[in-house]
Chains A and B, each alone.
Chain A
Amino acid sequence: MMPGRVFPFSMEKDEKDRYLTGKMIELTQYHRDHCSAYRKMTDALGCDLRRITHYSQLPYLPVSLFKDLRLSSLEEGEDDFKTVTSSGTSGQRRSQIILDARTRTDQQTALARIGSDFLGTRRMPYLVIDCPATVGKRDHFSARTSGILGFSIFGAHRTFALNDDMCLNKDALHDFLEKYGRQPFLVFGFTFMVWKYFCQELEAEGMRPDMRRAVLVHGGGWKKLADQAVSKEAFAAGLGRVCGISRVIDYYGMAEQTGSIFFECECGHLHCSDYSGILFRRPEDFSVCGPGEEGIIEVLSTLPRSYPGHILLTEDQGRLLGIDDCPCGRAGAYFEVSGRIEHAELRGCSDTYEDRS
């Protein structure tokens, strides 16, 4: 397949509801046939696929389940797969996600199409706010490794801004900006890393590099920054002050669900692509929230085939802002994430580097 230039934000509500409901029923059946643990769980939840009329009626797994169980829907005898571990510091349990070749390839195609819609199809010089060691370990794929490698398809001349001890690599940064700083370039990193090991370091060192042409893409959660009372606005203002970055794109996504990556548009709204679905549920009875009402986020993806992660209840909360009518012109649902639900385990991608200071 030569993936063409498909616009991944084209389905309007009625078409999307029909499409996603059909896909989710098919995937639920597929995983029931291929994963006995999933079949038992969905049996216990009383799942009768013949009676489903909308994807919101389908059973969802809590995302934390992947920390306890290694769920696989691989064909018998299939040994060609990779295991991706989610974030979590050493004291925390990590999710384990099994990805076969097809699911990995589909994921990259989806990321390329979705990301190109925000970043353009031309690749830009790529500055990573992380250290080379993060991608050095081939046997162990953390969420950070996957993020840096995944976003490599949007970049060229990849350069790491940090040394392996997490201090700023001033020479690398200087050389990169010298060579590419006068054209648009891509900066990628996990939210906490960008703040603590880049923005605050530059500030402490009194460095003011000119990064006005940069597009910063970051994700991985606000939990740790919220603890330090750093708001989204303070984050953007800090970057603007220290290095002149004005274009900041936040994204929402998780290792546990391939294919679901939600980028923030020019209007500051996170967008759901044709590959995904999003729902918000009331914590008291798990019924579906109305528009604008805050609830627990459920994510759906058409891609996971090697493990039953197509419908997951996250530990985050947020609210639906609208469907099909964002001023940016993209069809589909758009939403905001407001934080973690109470009592959820502390977690977030960029938390994986333990603070040793």
Chain B
Amino acid sequence: MTNLQRYNKIIKDYLGCTDEELNDEVLVYNRYPKWDSVKHMEMVAALEDKFCVMFETLDITSFSKYSLGIEILRKLGVDI
């Protein structure tokens, strides 16, 4: 499994979305019905666990779209 696949799996597991929905038009924080503040923190914790990183406070609020999660993981040194 590649890191991108691992990322996508976590997103799908937590938000209950399909492969087709894995894009910035659909997956927007506070807009996609299941992506609320509770799910958000659970998802951050799962990503941190899986990739052994720690989001900073401002990363958590920056993570507001599908692709921004990937960007933050890259910033934290994950090869994705």
Contacts and interface: CB of A to CB of B under 8 A. Distances in A.
Contacts, number: 61
Contact of A3 (B45, B54, B61): B61
A122 B56 contact: yes
Given A123-B54, A152-B41, A156-B54, A105 B29 contact: yes
Interface string A119-156: 10111000000000001001000000000011011101
A149 B28 CA distance: 19
Contacts of B38: 135, 138, 149
Interface of A is mostly: helix
B41 A116 contact: no
B64 to A, nearest CB: 7
Nearest to B68: A2
A101 interface: yes
Nearest to A154: B57
A113 interface: yes
Given A135-B38, A152-B41, A104 B30 contact: yes
Q: How large is the interface on B (under 10, 10 to 19, 20 to 34, 35 or more residues)?
A: 20 to 34
A5 interface: yes
Contacts of B31: 80, 101
Contacts of A158: 41
A101 B33 CA distance: 11
A112 B30 contact: no
A83 to B, nearest CB: 13
Given A3-B61, A153-B60, 18 more contacts: A1-B64, A4-B58, A80-B31, A101-B28, A101-B30, A105-B30, A105-B61, A108-B37, A109-B61, A112-B61, A113-B58, A116-B57, A123-B55, A135-B38, A152-B41, A154-B57, A156-B48, A158-B41
Interface of B: 28-31, 36-38, 41, 45, 48, 54-58, 60-62, 64, 68, 71
Interface of A: 1-5, 80, 82, 101, 104-105, 108-109, 112-113, 115-116, 119, 121-123, 135, 138, 149-150, 152-154, 156, 158
